[in-house]
Amino acid sequence: MIDTSQIETVMYQISNLLLPPVLIVIGALFLYAFFVLGVFAAQYWQRSNNSKKYQQAIQTMATDVCNMKPVKGYRLFSHFQGYPTSTTMDLEIFAIKNLEKQRIVTRIAPMLGLVATMIPMGPALKSLADGNIQGISENLMIAFAAVIFGLVTASITFWTASVKKRWLVEELNDLQPHLEPSS
């Protein structure tokens, strides 16, 4: 017969080994979220300052595709300038790639926050059984901090990715009359 207590002990020990790397990844993703927020703010500022130039460039494209000038803050438009024979599908793929990292972080950060919440719960419950109030407190602090970091990270990346997605769709819509038909 298999002794389940040994399996449980091994699983408990392995889960405890996972806590430091999970906390490091959550911390790195948290920093990444603020980097994304900074890039987003810069792009928002560029788009605000260059919206008239962009509208003029879109209107000029109807008559003179060859002399289009780059407009900062408009990534899909800039990509199209580099690849003027792009199809709708090509630009959609570019847009998806542009948002891919943020979308992955949006989904992974809360999961890792949950993992980092559950791992310290074992030692916290053990401390409770032993009557060690300080052990409970220390483990719960780690658990709650990890889930908060994960949720804040996901919130930032979800919000910025959602706004960027709208921007990309608007640019794709503006470029639609100038695109090669998709195969």
Give a yes or no: residue 18 inside a domain.
yes
pLDDT for 131: 85
Q: Residue 180 pLDDT more than 80?
A: no
- The verdict on residue 86 lying in a domain is yes
Low-confidence winner among 7-21, 25-39, 87-101, 153-167 (lowest mean pLDDT): 7-21
In a domain, 183, yes or no: no
| % of the chain surpassing 90 pLDDT | 60
Question: Residue 181: is its pLDDT beyond 80?
Answer: no
Q: If pLDDT is split at 50, 70 and 90, which confidence band does 64 have?
A: low
Average of per-residue pLDDT across 86-109: 95
Buried b (16+ CB within 10 A) or exposed e, 61-94: beeeeeebeebebbbbbebbbeeeebeeebbbeb
Q: What would the DSSP string read from start to end of 102-134?
A: HHHHHHHHHHHHHHHHHHHHHHHHHHHHHT-HH
pLDDT band at 63; cut points 50, 70, 90: low
Whole-number Å distance between alpha carbons of 42 and 72: 10
Residue 52 vs residues 16, 57, 102, 164: alpha-carbon distances, Å: 56, 9, 28, 19
| Residue 67 covered by a domain | yes
Which residue from 39, 42, 41, 27 is spatially nearest to 153, judged by alpha carbons?
A: 27
Nearest to 30 by CA among 165, 145, 168: 145
The answer to whether residue 49 sits within a structural domain is yes
> How many domains are there within the chain?
1
Domain limits at 163?
A: 4-178
Over residues 158-182, the mean pLDDT reads 90
pLDDT score of 139? 84
Q: Which of 25-29, 122-126, 157-161 has the lowest mean pLDDT?
A: 122-126
Report the predicted TM-score, pTM, of the whole model to 2 decimal places: 0.85
